[in-house]
Amino acid sequence: MGQVRLDKLLADAGYGTRSQVRQLVRKKHVTINGEPAKGPEQKIDVDKDQIFCEGKPVFYAAYEYYMLNKPAGVVSAVTDNRDKTVVELIEDRQRRDLFPVGRLDKDTEGLLLITNDGILANRLLTPGRHVEKTYYAEVDGPVTQMDIKLFAEGLDIGEERRTLPAVLIVEESGNACSKVQLTITEGKFHQVKRMFQAVGRRVTFLKRLTMGSLTLDEALAPGEYRKLTEGEILALKKQGLST
């Protein structure tokens, strides 16, 4: 992984701002391989050196990847003045530069990738790559074969271009409520809700199940999260390169 400045390493690991961690170093609260750190600019070999801050080991992670089952009522943001954010739910994060990859509406639940890997995020979110995202939705009223055909052809949701073809699967259709799965390859603002609105339906519940190769872990309750496995990270990176 190479060498990193000590003040950057500590700041990235959440020990404070650059100026705050410099004070920790100057006050001899940081040791490198058992010796007091020489200065905030000291270069650290993150693969070999053992760093302690105030007697506790410092673990440096260049990148972190978390799968979150987003609950309703939480906003897809890093900071917010009114509501709790998805990043705040990741309590054991080591990095302070995490962000959600894409957005889910405040009332939408389900799969959200939280990371600080900007290159991967850009690859997954770039419109031209058409990364598939599957949602489970409950809508008022019946969903018909005609609706399936219209979704497959693309819908007018009030923008310059129609939506790209989408795959609509009806799990249960009823006069009062229908349960469906919808796979889209775009990420327009409120897209799923606007697509159903275009055919005269209102979404009453929405949950994202997949994003590219990543599938929501059914063991995660709303608000729970886990780190991605090495296999999941590798598959996402391959997805970003191949799409």
Residues involved in catalysis:
105
Q: Where are the CATH 3.10.290.10 domain residues in the chain?
A: 3-57
Q: Please give the average per-residue pLDDT across 117-136, as a whole number.
A: 93
Q: What is the pLDDT of residue 243?
A: 45
Helix-, strand-, coil-residue percentages of the chain, each rounded to 5: 25, 30, 45
Question: 133-158: per-residue pLDDT in tens?
Answer: 999 999 999 999 999 999 999 999 99
CATH of domain 65-127+214-242: 3.30.70.580
Q: Is 213 left (phi over 0), alpha (psi -120 to 50) or beta?
A: alpha
Its CATH architecture, for the domain 132-211, is 2-Layer Sandwich (3.30)
d(CA 82, CA 96): 20
pTM of the model as a whole = 0.84
d(CA 133, CA 113): 12
d(CA 238, CA 114): 18
Q: Which CATH entry fits the domain spanning 3-57: 3.40.50.2300, 3.30.2130.10, 3.50.50.60, 3.10.290.10?
A: 3.10.290.10
Q: How confident is the model at residue 240 (pLDDT cuts 50, 70, 90)?
A: low
- Average confidence score pLDDT of the chain: 93
Residue 196's SS3 state is: helix
DSSP 75: B
Question: 193-231: per-residue pLDDT in tens?
Answer: 999 999 999 999 999 999 999 999 999 999 999 999 999
Q: Where are the alpha helices (DSSP H) in the chain?
A: 6-12, 18-26, 118-125, 145-153, 191-198, 230-242
d(CA 10, CA 30): 10
The alpha carbon torsion through 48, 51, 55, 57 (nearest 10 deg) reads -70
d(CA 144, CA 128): 30
What are 149's two structure tokens? Answer: 């055909």
Q: Where are the CATH 3.30.70.1560 domain residues in the chain?
A: 132-211
Q: What Cα–Cα distance (Å) separates residue 94 from each residue in 11, 33, 85, 87, 142? A: 10, 21, 17, 12, 47
